[in-house]
Amino acid sequence: MGYSDTPFLPDGKWRVHDVARPAPAVVNPGPAPAAPAPVPEDAVVLFDGKDLSHWTSGGKEARWKVAEGAMEVNGTGTIETRESFGDLQLHLEWAAPKGIESASQGRGNSGVFFMGRYELQVLDSFENRTYSDGQAAALYGQTPPLVNACRKPGEWQSYDVVFTAPRFENGGLKSPARITVFHNGVLVHHDVAFLGATAHRAVAQYAEHAASGPIALQDHGNPVRYRNVWVRKL
């Protein structure tokens, strides 16, 4: 359910994955949409339900299962886009496995890594308590979502994101990565700064990197599905 022996976050109030950090309020976002959301004409479509041509895994072809208009985590590893991105708008839809086989971090765990580094957590947080900075739509290990807008396992959910890449100057951080996130249409992060690249049981830190990077989707061993993934470069 969390940790009590991890380092404190910079706010000095909560530890990383703090077992005592309060759970965000639950907000029912309404029913799942009947169909995938429309795609803007200037979007870069990264997954249209048919193939993984925009994705690689460990430098090779991505090998997640593609069926019924979705791609599904299958233990073959995290996948990342061939193309690199900086500032962007992202839309994606995901669904946790319908069959509940585990709890806490073991239930529908995946994640969206911006620039391959900054994780927006994917987790089945429908009646599934875990540490608050690790639940669905958390900036993993850093910031819980404002509310828990998770739908039931098996139901399609959406993330709509505005991500601003960090800027570096003379080897140091000039401005942090920032993110705004809607989970199933509900605001869960409003222009929040990342503390650094995502870490487990450690305080996130920045290390200089290129101005653009891939979007990665995590294989955490749970058969999470994705569909309708597109970005708009900003």
Q: What is the DSSP string of 57-118?
A: ETTEE---EEETTEEE--SS--EEESS-BSSEEEEEEEE--SS----GGGSS-EEEEETTTE
Nearer to Mg ion, 128 or 218 (CB): 218
The stretch near Mg ion (CB under 5 A) out of 73-81, 104-112, 156-164, 222-230 is 104-112
Residue 116 interacting with Mg ion (CB under 5 A): no
Residues 188-227 close enough to bind Mg ion by CB under 5 A: 218
Q: Which is nearer to Mg ion, 88 or 123 (CB)?
A: 123
> Interface with Mg ion includes 111 (CB under 5 A)?
yes
Q: Give the binding range for Mg ion (CB under 5 A) out of 59-67, 101-109, 153-161, 208-216.
A: 101-109
Pick 146 or 224: Cβ nearer Mg ion:
224
**Closest residue to Mg ion using C-beta atoms:** 111
CB of 140 to Mg ion, least distance (A): 6
Q: Enumerate residues 154-183 that contact Mg ion by CB under 5 A.
A: none
**What are the Cα distances from residue 32, in Å, to 4, 84, 153?**
36, 30, 11
Instruction: Provide the phi-psi class of 143: left if phi over 0, else alpha when psi is between -120 and 50, else beta.
Output: beta
Q: Min. distance of Cβ 133 from Mg ion in angstroms?
A: 12
**Cβ of 115: how many Cβ atoms within 10 Å?**
23
Report the candidate in 176, 68, 76 with the shortest Cα–Cα distance to residue 118.
176
